[in-house]
Amino acid sequence: MKIKDIIELLDAENLTPELDLEQELHSACGSDMMSDVLAYVKDQAVLLTGLNNPQVIRTADMMDMLCVVYVRGKRPDALSLKIANEKGICVLTTERALFTCCGILYDNGLRGA
């Protein structure tokens, strides 16, 4: 799956239009607790979350993730977007809920840790 496929599948809006949407992704995780995300490194490329503060992007950066999806219409603040652009982490936002997003992506081949 590519980031551009996630945009389509989740009806998501891309908030970092300058970044590459062609990178291949195989694994994802969904959580609002960042230490839980940090506990299981398995080359996850995508983080889905309802949490909205700069630590979300920091966590994704520490994990070498490529894409963060904010669910339920959350929109990250300017600092989050600035860090994401610097680090090359693609940021998407979707109106759908976390459980629904995870289900759709799993159905289409993404796997968890």
Partner 1 sequence: MEPIKFNYTVPGDDFTRAGEASADLKNKLKKMGITGAPVRNISIALYEGEINLAIHAGGGEITALVYPEKVELFLDDNGPGIADINLALQEGYSSATDEVRSLGFGAGMGLPNMKKYADEFHIESQVGEGTHIKMVVNL
Write the DSSP assignment of the chain as a string of letters: -BHHHHHHHTTPEES-TTS-S--B--BEEE-S-HHHHHH--S---EEEES--SHHHHHHHHHTT-SEEEE-TT----HHHHHHHHHHT-EEEE-SS-HHHHHHHHHHTT-B--
State in angstroms the smallest separation of the CB of 102 from partner 1: 17
State in angstroms the smallest separation of the CB of 47 from partner 1: 11
Tell me the per-residue interface mask from 26 to 65 with partner 1, x by CB under 8 A, - otherwise: ------xxxxx-xx-x-------x-x-xxxx-xx-xxxx-
Number of residues in contact with partner 1 under rule CB under 8 A? 23
State in angstroms the smallest separation of the CB of 61 from partner 1: 6
Tokens for 87? 């680090």
Q: Which is nearer to partner 1, 7 or 60 (CB)?
A: 60
Binding site for partner 1 (CB under 8 A): 32-36, 38-39, 41, 49, 51, 53-56, 58-59, 61-64, 79, 83, 87
